[in-house]
Structure 1
């Protein structure tokens, strides 16, 4: 079977909706597949991989999606999977192709099982909401479909103008600027209603700062704001900050182009260097460019890639399925300073 982009995205989606083994078999039967042909061992991601392989072999992928939709009728990923035109949720580079992933250690697994105090002051929530306002969705028109990512407004020094940061692999060519919208407030309120969002275009006359995927994987530009409306969303202040193994991180993102979400549970740093921060957390395609925060809501990295657990790694608890990597904010700050001086 040729493992297509659509199947890769479905694998992520289904494992995200149902990260536990229990219950997957009912969808297999509902789709007209034979459970005896499915490998029900390993992580939820592995099981869904086996299910999708069998469904594709028998021409029943849409039947499987429809079966899951019966329980998740408004899920945008599943709905788009039945459409001829697809949204490209998988912009991020493959983790194993752009980095050297350090295996998860036993002491990290002990932290994952909550053998540490994770209580935080209630102000943590309010500060997170304030930071979230600066996070926006990147939407790039590509023919009849869209490519999606995330990013954020930031300021480095008090005298700097507010600019927008995302990944190089999300957007790096000025020729695509006219096809791009940066959307803020694309989220639900506390009553579950959609907020009024606002989109902005990119100022093609202002400098574009870029660093390739193999380096810092970052793209920085300025948004058009003739009516001074961006001030409503504030900005994230960048400063150099340390991050260590077994620290906790939180990611505010637009996974798959969906409304704004936060990955708040089970997020732990497994390894860090001067260039990268590696962590276990929940992300999906479209999360690329998201700010990665520590527990003080300082930005420690910009998320740029993810992947499934390796077979040779220690078995993770059932709710953990993703290994992820961000580019450390410290070398990005040095890069911005150096590039700004040459402009």
Structure 2
């Protein structure tokens, strides 16, 4: 069986939606597959891989997707996977392949249940809206009707005049895709719930192209073409070295699943940090890769790049909380830009 990119991404999405092996069998039966033909050894991702292989062999991939859609009817990837015109969400790296995940501590659980104040000044909202202007959707055409999507943002670094855009290396890293890529700003709703007119920009293929692989900074940095001098309307986020600690709060502005711009504001607690990464409970979805991770002062602390389901041995978290999300510490990104741009 040819293991296509579509199946790879289905495996990724299904493993996120149903990360417990015991929950997979009902979907196997609903799709008309025989559970006895499925190898259930390994973790949930391994089992889903075996299920998809069996479904492909029996021409029942659509039936399998439909069975999971009955439980998750709003999942955009599952819906698009049923049609030829599909969105090809960028696959984030497996967090287990890039970092050590540390258990959520009892202290963090206490903070999560409001063991400390979460009050903020009202100007927090206005500052957030201002920062959000610089966040854009990354859309890469990879077929006649297929797109890979991610998130990114405009930024500057003190001492460097250039205006850059950043997203993840796993979102785009091949210059051959530059012509097929557009960065879309204002893809969002206004205060009345109406669609805001969006504007798209192309990548400047003659400008800087700084790439850092997944196991390093998982970042691709470039400039945008500003033919009509309108890019200034979206401002930029000034990056500066920052300190972030366990139990701090972080918020993420993003384009999950390629949808209109959204923000995560609930149960946003940092669970682990080191000199390379920041790990947090903040919600993300496919397509959120490359989003800025902010502290409560709206300073960028990390570049979001990966997530995954909680492990069985981790402490039990309140319902609805996805405990495994991670970003690259922004200090690493700043140093990476300085090291490359001076050359």
User: Normalization by structure 2: what TM-score?
Assistant: 0.83
- Residues 306-321 of structure 1 mapped to structure 2, 5 A cutoff: 306-321=307-322
* Contact in 1 for aligned 2:166/2:222 (Cα 8 Å): yes
**2:81 and 2:205 mapped to 1: Cα distance?**
34
**1:111 and 1:120 mapped to 2: Cα distance?**
16
- Find out whether 1:64 has 2:91 as its counterpart: no
**2:291 and 2:192 mapped to 1: Cα distance?**
25
- Find out whether 1:139 has 2:139 as its counterpart: yes
Structure 1 residues 210 and 4: CA distance shift in structure 2, 3 A = closer
**2:332 and 2:12 mapped to 1: Cα distance?**
32
Q: Deviation at 1:217?
A: 1.2
Residue 303 of structure 1 is matched in structure 2 by: 304
* Contact in 1 for aligned 2:90/2:171 (Cα 8 Å): no
Structure 2 residue ranges without an equivalent (≥5)? 33-43
Query: 3-state SS of the aligned residue for 2:244?
Result: coil
**1:66 and 1:270 mapped to 2: Cα distance?**
31
Deviating runs (4+, > 6 A) in structure 1?
none
**1:4 and 1:200 mapped to 2: Cα distance?**
30
Decide which of 5, 12, 20 is 2:9's aligned counterpart: 5
**1:321 and 1:273 mapped to 2: Cα distance?**
20
* Contact in 1 for aligned 2:9/2:91 (Cα 8 Å): no
Paired residues, what number?
318
* Contact in 2 for aligned 1:138/1:182 (Cα 8 Å): yes
**1:66 and 1:214 mapped to 2: Cα distance?**
33
User: Normalization by structure 1: what TM-score?
Assistant: 0.83
- 1:123-182 deviation per Cα after TM superposition (whole angstroms, max 9, x unaligned): 101100000000001111112311111100001126512110111111122221111100
Query: 3-state SS of the aligned residue for 1:160?
Result: strand
Structure 1 residues 209 and 307: CA distance shift in structure 2, 3 A = same
Structure 1 residue ranges without an equivalent (≥5)? 16-23, 34-45
- 1:92-140 deviation per Cα after TM superposition (whole angstroms, max 9, x unaligned): 1111011111121111111111111101111101100000000001111
Q: Deviation at 1:215?
A: 1.1
* Contact in 1 for aligned 2:31/2:64 (Cα 8 Å): no
- Residues 267-306 of structure 1 mapped to structure 2, 5 A cutoff: 267-306=268-307
Q: Deviation at 1:207?
A: 1.4
* Contact in 1 for aligned 2:256/2:262 (Cα 8 Å): yes
